[in-house]
Amino acid sequence: MPAIVLAAKRERSLLRRHPWVFSGSIQEVRGDPQPGAAVDLLSRKGEWLARATYSPESAIRARVWTFDRDEPLDAAFCTRRVALAVDLRRRIYGGELPQACRLLNGEGDGLPGVVADRYGEVIVVQLLTWGGELLREELAAALREAVPCRCVFERSDTNARTREGLAAQVGSIWGDAPAGTIEICEDGLTFLVDIRSGHKTGFYLDQRENRRLVGSRSAGRDILNCFCYTGGFTLHALANGATSAVSIDSSQEALDLAATHVERNGLAAGSIEFQRADVFQALRRFRDSRQDFDLIVLDPPKFADTKGQLDRASRGYKDINLLGLKLLRPGGELFTFSCSGAMTTELFHKIVADAALDAGREVVVLHELRQAPDHVVSTAFPEGRYLNGLHLAVR
Q: Which residues are catalytic?
A: 339
Contacts of 236 (CB under 8 A, 6+ apart): 187, 189, 211, 212, 214, 215, 218
Q: Which residues pair with 370 in a beta bridge?
A: 388
Under rule CB under 6 A, residue 279 binds ligand SAH: yes
- Indicate the residue among 109 and 299 with the shorter CB distance to ligand SAH: 299
What is the distance between the alpha carbons of residues 119 and 204, in angstroms, rounded to a whole number?
12
Q: Which residues pair with 223 in a beta bridge?
A: 245, 295
Applying CB under 6 A, which of residues 119, 153, 233, 317 lies at the interface with ligand SAH?
A: 233
Q: How far is the CB of 285 from ligand SAH (least distance, A)?
A: 12
Q: How far is the CB of 297 from ligand SAH (least distance, A)?
A: 7
Applying CB under 6 A, which of residues 227, 286, 317, 335 lies at the interface with ligand SAH?
A: 227
What is the distance between the alpha carbons of residues 78 and 142, in angstroms, rounded to a whole number?
6
- Indicate the residue among 119 and 227 with the shorter CB distance to ligand SAH: 227
Applying CB under 6 A, which of residues 124, 254, 359, 363 lies at the interface with ligand SAH?
A: 254
Q: Which residues pair with 42 in a beta bridge?
A: 5, 48
Q: Beta strand pairing status for 48-54 and 60-66?
A: antiparallel
Q: Which stretch binds ligand SAH (CB under 6 A): 216-224, 274-282, 320-328, 353-361?
A: 274-282
Under rule CB under 6 A, residue 256 binds ligand SAH: no
Q: Which stretch binds ligand SAH (CB under 6 A): 76-84, 104-112, 179-187, 272-280?
A: 272-280
Q: Which stretch binds ligand SAH (CB under 6 A): 50-58, 130-138, 249-257, 263-271?
A: 249-257
Q: Which stretch binds ligand SAH (CB under 6 A): 109-117, 244-252, 306-314, 345-353?
A: 244-252
- Indicate the residue among 19 and 202 with the shorter CB distance to ligand SAH: 202
What is the distance between the alpha carbons of residues 318 and 357, in angstroms, rounded to a whole number?
11
Applying CB under 6 A, which of residues 79, 244, 251, 265 lies at the interface with ligand SAH?
A: 251
Q: How far is the CB of 222 from ligand SAH (least distance, A)?
A: 18
Under rule CB under 6 A, residue 229 binds ligand SAH: yes
- Indicate the residue among 44 and 318 with the shorter CB distance to ligand SAH: 318
- Indicate the residue among 239 and 380 with the shorter CB distance to ligand SAH: 239
Under rule CB under 6 A, residue 249 binds ligand SAH: yes
How many residues contact ligand SAH, by CB under 6 A? 18
Interactions with ligand SAH, residue window 295-314 (CB under 6 A): 299, 301
Applying CB under 6 A, which of residues 105, 181, 207, 247 lies at the interface with ligand SAH?
A: 207
Applying CB under 6 A, which of residues 232, 324, 332, 384 lies at the interface with ligand SAH?
A: 232
Under rule CB under 6 A, residue 274 binds ligand SAH: no
Contact positions vs ligand SAH (CB under 6 A): 204, 207, 227-230, 232-233, 248-251, 254, 278-280, 299, 301
